[in-house]
């Protein structure tokens, strides 16, 4: 039951993130460029998030998908840590138009919390 709920929560987070980026692709492109993400990597992000979120909510191989989602979150988090340590703090593009706050350690902590939810989903 806990694993199922965790998969739904993590899936909803990924779906929300994808949809907010896709609603305003221009903003996503601008924010991801400000973060220093090359376009070739930024463009597929909302679609990867959409796929992961859909698979988690749809309970399609939730254990495997949860571990893939954790891997994606690790990459995102390491990227944020690198930018913070470089002193670069553009707005977080994490949730499209809902993310205008400059990146900081709270974003890293939030991602670690999402990873913990992913572990719960992956162990179920």
Q: What is the pLDDT of residues 74-118, one digit of tens each?
A: 999 999 999 999 998 888 888 877 777 899 999 999 999 999 999
Segment 4-32, tens digit of pLDDT: 999 999 999 999 999 999 998 898 999 89
- pTM check: above 0.85: yes
- Beta-carbon contacts of 15 under 8 Å, excluding residues fewer than 6 positions away, are 49, 50, 53, 54, 57
Percent of the chain with pLDDT over 70: 100
**Residue 99 — left, alpha, or beta (φ > 0 → left; ψ -120 to 50 → alpha)?**
beta
Helix, strand, coil tally for the chain in percent (to 5): 75, 0, 20
Q: Could you identify the residue written with the tokens 């994808």?
A: 18
Burial classification of residue 67, based on how many CB atoms lie within 10 Å of its CB (0-12 exposed, 13-18 middle, 19 or more buried): middle
Q: In the numeric block, which tokens belong to residue 24?
A: 């305003």
């Amino acid at each position: 039951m806990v694993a199922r709920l965790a998969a739904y929560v993590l899936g909803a987070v990924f779906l929300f993130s994808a949809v907010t980026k896709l609603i305003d692709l221009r903003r996503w492109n601008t924010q991801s460029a400000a973060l220093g993400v090359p376009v070739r990597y930024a463009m597929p992000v909302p679609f990867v998030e959409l796929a992961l979120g859909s698979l988690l909510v749809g309970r399609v191989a939730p254990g495997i998908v949860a571990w893939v989602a954790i891997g994606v979150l690790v990459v995102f988090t390491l990227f944020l840590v690198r930018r913070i340590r470089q002193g670069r703090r553009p707005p977080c593009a994490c949730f499209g138009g809902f993310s205008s706050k400059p990146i900081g350690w709270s974003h890293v902590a939030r991602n670690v919390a999402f990873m913990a939810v992913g572990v719960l989903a992956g162990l179920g």
